[in-house]
Chains A and B, each alone.
Chain A
Amino acid sequence: MTRIGVVVFPGSNCEYDAAAAVSQLGATAEFVWHSATDLSDFDGIILPGGFAHGDYLRPGALARFSPVMEVVARFAEQGGAVLGICNGFQVLTEAGLLPGALQKNRGLTFLCQPTTLIVESTKSVLTRLATRGQELRIPINHFSGAYTCDDATYAALEANDQIVLRYKENPNGSRGDIAGVANMAGNVVGLMPHPERAMSTLLGSADGRVLLESFLSVPVSAG
């Protein structure tokens, strides 16, 4: 059975939802407190949504200094699957594990609404079971979700097939309509939308399943 560590910072709030979603798909989920320094028990790591350390200074800026981030970096370096959802994405960019940054939404308000995503790449751990061009109905829930990066980074993202998901209709001013990106190797992925909130038609959409199933499908041991 796939074992997923869900990192909990003080101020995280989507940890229960992320754990529930992966459990629903047959994995076991365990909370990992932000002071932890050992991830060797896990096949994959999720950094969930929320407001780590209150998002003070700016989202992710303090969380990158939590002790757990050093081991997350090592886990990723060794090829382990790492997923950052929303605030987790912001933390991964601040920690330098993903390129670019997330800035405030174009309209300068928080946005909680459904969006339609287009799968751009199936190279990443998040999308390997999806189909290129596939449309997924998955909600967003953020204030600082507009992806941004310099021209060289953007060109590299495109050239290396690191843009994983784009918005069909850009809700927040994100550069290139980007909703999610991966690192070069495809084992570290961050996205602003919440796949764990799209796990059943009872709640409006089950389109998030294919993403989390992908993430759980080929456990990469961090050794």
Chain B
Amino acid sequence: MSSAPESLHRALGLTDSEFDDIREVLGREPNPLELALYGVMWSEHCSYKSSRIHLRRLPTEAPHVLVGPGENAGVIDAGDGIAVAIRIESHNHPSAIEPYQGAATGVGGILRDVFTMGARPLAVMDPLFFGELTDARQRWLVEGVVSGISGYGNSVGVPTIGGELTFDACYASNPLVNVLCAGALPTERLVLGVASGVGNLAVLLGSSTGRDGIGGVSVLASAGFAGDDGAASLDDAKRPSVQVGDPYEEKRLIEACLELLDRGLVVGIQDLGGAGLVCATSETAARGGVGMDVDITAVPLREAGMQPYEIMTSESQERMLAIIAPESWPAVAQLCAKWEVRANVVGHVVEPDLDSDGNPVGMLRVRRGFDGEVLAEVPAASLADEAPLYDRPRRPPDDLDEIRADDPTDDEPIGSPNDDLLRLLIDPAWVYRQFDSQLFLNTVVGPGRDAALLRLAGPGLPFSERGFALSTDSNPRWCALDPRAGTALTVAESVANLACVGATAKAVVNCLNFGNPEHPEVMWQLSEAIDGMAEACRGLDLPVIGGNVSLYNESGGKDIDPTPVVGLLGVVESLVAPPPGWAWHDGDTVMLVGTRHAAGDQPFPLGGTKWATQRGRRGGHVPVFEPKSFRTTAGFVAREISTICAGATSDVTAVHDVGGGGLATALAEMAATTGVGVEVGELQAHGELFAEFPGRFVMATSDPESFMSRAAQAGVPVVLLGIAGGLSLRIGSSIDLSVDDIAVRRRDALSEALASLD
């Protein structure tokens, strides 16, 4: 083994001090292959080295949590012998360069994380963030990303049941493509990615290994885009680091793995994602406290002449590593042959070595033949768990006070509120109708509503009448002004969305999309956001059971706005009837349910609202989150709706969370859905039209007296807004629009923007 040339570590993305750490771990000079293994495993993407010390502040425990952060997916006990596994990931940089494959392989990767736990993937959601659609490149990105998700997700056979769509100039050179997957399994089948049992075999399943995606985690995911035009200038240089997906291979891989698990043929299983084979072998060995010998000549290759470091770090898609007992091998091979899935024994689980103090140290050995030359030999845990952790400098942006002082809340209203409202309406149907949202016959509430609601059912699961609900939420506008309060409010917004489908929130996953962590402002934003999430989760008794941190979302030195995405999983105890939607009926009483005024000094804060942002006003203050009254209201709404899901008759005919775009937008969306208007009296202030703060719902009832008395009993305030009827939406003296105009504008907004020719 020859030692590495002096500066190789820098080319592999390692700092000088990290290089010294590696020398200390090994007690000698690393060879080039060993250095390459550390380069990918100690990348920001794999090691979370800048964020880990902060993530520890999140609450992660609750009685129903079966698996918390750190595994491939978080898992909760959803009742009736069924567990739900959930995971969220980002595939931002690959999608910036090659939108179709970037988004497609993002879906593939998240599915593997979930079926690695023994769960059948049942639902995918996609929070997407692009620049403004006036820019032709953004339209190319949107179409590429959406067709990538559609092309992969539909064929692989997992429904895409929702997501988010945000357009803001800060994402122009660095779009965000996040993807969440939830799956379910019989609770007793839970498996973990552990290699135990000396003598067991590590079997590589699925695709052959090619040169695609080499250095994906280090070159691509753990560095920003340098040019002023972001990804555009780096297309050619970085495109080879983007993986290419094959959903047909993945579909067969899913079925084969689930059958292997069903038949009890595997001890542990692990997907090959970022950092490929080195990651899967070192993580499983580290978790099991054992060593692993890997024979690189046993890995089926896609092309000739591949070097050992390429084989070990390739991110070729659709591959899994199964740990099996040697006697299971014939059955495993036969099952894989049926599904036309390649299976090769590439590793042996071996006894750990003993260090000088006699402590066991599981070694990862890369060999040419199991009895052949040792090409690399490093402690598995040093790759998987022992990257240096950084407490990087943090400080709030210098101009933060100035930005906050520039508050749009007190702006004199100028222009036409009618036009303002119309500009806020956008129906994402153009996106979600390209996704199969119904497979498995579970989708009770699909994309386009406050939250998705599905039956808790699927092939191989015990019978249950329960449902599970999912929502993804973010608000970079709030988080730019105050990452702590903004993130707390985002968690609340997500809980409110779940209440609209009758679900009680059970667990949070997060995808923390931030800029360059070497910028102290970004580290401050990240740390504040984590504190805000921790506060909100503690206030709402929610465990965080998994997450992903995506840093270096920057281009030309400019960071994106902080974009923590909250994925929330909830449960409905009995789901035999659909919850009411947005469609009120002629004659219903339309009400605002919840606290009318925001907590704090401003009753109707406009800082960070969609309305203000659209007017180019990005300053101001973020509303204060007040958990107590929020919980009372969200709990009341969830109970009202869950009784309908359980089959009870109810006077409640419609419900919608007041979210982005405020009260006026919520009313307009409901009127557009039902085709029936409403006349609302004068509001208290212009700001009440568009202010955004969670904990308010528009609901409709056929029996206002009964509803009001139930609300009063629960201590929830209600404001009567008006009686549904007519063909116009009127709000005091400010809004007067025909329901038709609202519906057409909302329906066409996205497709017209995408079709513009400039």
Contact = CB atoms under 8 A, between A and B. Distances in A.
Interface of A: 10-11, 13-14, 16-17, 20-21, 33, 50-51, 53-56, 109-113, 139, 141, 143, 194, 196-197, 199, 201-204
Contact of B441 (A20, A51, A56, A111): A20
Contacts of A112: 154, 432-438
A140 to B, nearest CB: 10
B595 interface: no
Contact of A11 (B155, B438, B444): B155
A158 to B, nearest CB: 31
A110 B150 contact: yes
Given A55-B155, A110-B150, A112-B434, A11 B441 contact: no
Nearest to A53: B248
Q: Which 9 A-B pairs have the closest CB atoms?
A: A54-B248, A13-B157, A51-B155, A110-B434, A16-B459, A110-B150, A113-B433, A112-B436, A17-B441
A20 B434 CA distance: 25
B439 A13 contact: yes
Interface of B: 147, 150-151, 154-157, 246-248, 251-252, 338-340, 432-444, 455, 458-459, 575-578
B447 to A, nearest CB: 9
B207 to A, nearest CB: 13
Contacts of B432: 112
A196 B434 contact: no
22 contacts: A10-B340, A11-B155, A11-B248, A17-B439, A17-B440, A21-B441, A51-B154, A54-B155, A55-B155, A109-B434, A110-B151, A110-B154, A110-B436, A112-B432, A112-B433, A112-B436, A141-B436, A197-B438, A199-B441, A202-B455, A203-B444, A204-B578
Contact of A13 (B251, B339, B576): B251
Given A13-B157, A17-B439, A112-B438, A56 B444 contact: no
Contacts of B438: 112, 139, 141, 194, 197, 203
Contacts of A17: 439-441
B434 A111 contact: yes
Contacts of A21: 441
A112 B433 CA distance: 5
A55 B247 CA distance: 11
B439 A10 contact: no
A16 B434 contact: no
B433 A111 contact: yes
Nearest to B460: A16
Contact of B147 (A20, A109, A197): A109
Contacts of A50: 155, 157
A11 B251 contact: yes
Contacts of B458: 16
B247 A202 contact: no
Contacts of A109: 147, 150, 433-434
Nearest to A139: B438
Nearest to A19: B459
B433 A51 contact: no
Contacts of A53: 248
Contacts of B455: 202
A54 B433 contact: no
A109 B352 CA distance: 54
Nearest to A20: B441
A186 to B, nearest CB: 28
A16 B252 CA distance: 15
Contacts of A201: 577-578
Contacts of A204: 578
Given A10-B252, A143-B154, 4 more contacts: A13-B155, A16-B458, A110-B433, A141-B438
Contacts of B442: 203
Given A54-B248, A110-B154, A202-B578, A16 B433 contact: no
Contact of B248 (A16, A56, A194): A56
A112 B160 CA distance: 11
B252 A11 contact: yes
A197 B441 contact: yes
Contacts of B575: 202
A86 to B, nearest CB: 10
B155 to A, nearest CB: 4
Contacts of B156: 13
B673 to A, nearest CB: 14
B247 A54 contact: yes
A13 B247 CA distance: 12
Nearest to B155: A51
Nearest to B435: A112
A11 B340 CA distance: 11
A203 B440 CA distance: 11
B339 A10 contact: yes
Contacts of A55: 155, 248
A121 to B, nearest CB: 27
B359 to A, nearest CB: 47
B85 to A, nearest CB: 19
Nearest to A200: B441
A203 B248 contact: no
A167 to B, nearest CB: 15
Contacts of B147: 109-110
Contacts of A51: 154-155, 157, 247-248, 251
Given A112-B433, A203-B443, A10 B578 contact: no
B741 to A, nearest CB: 22
Contacts of A16: 440, 458-459
Contacts of B459: 16
B584 to A, nearest CB: 19
Nearest to B443: A203
A111 B430 CA distance: 9
Contacts of B247: 51, 54
Given A110-B154, A111-B434, A112-B435, A203 B251 contact: no
A53 B157 CA distance: 13
A33 to B, nearest CB: 8
Contacts of B578: 201-202, 204
A21 B577 CA distance: 18
Nearest to B455: A202
Nearest to B143: A109
Contacts of A139: 438
A195 to B, nearest CB: 12
A109 B436 CA distance: 12
A13 B254 CA distance: 11
A139 B339 CA distance: 30
A196 B441 contact: yes
Contacts of B444: 202-203
Contacts of B150: 109-110
Contacts of A111: 433-434
* Most chain B CB neighbours (cut-off 10 Å) among A33, A55, A143: A143
Contacts of A33: 338
Contacts of A20: 441
B111 to A, nearest CB: 13
B247 to A, nearest CB: 7
B469 to A, nearest CB: 15
A110 B435 contact: yes
A207 to B, nearest CB: 14
A202 B433 contact: no
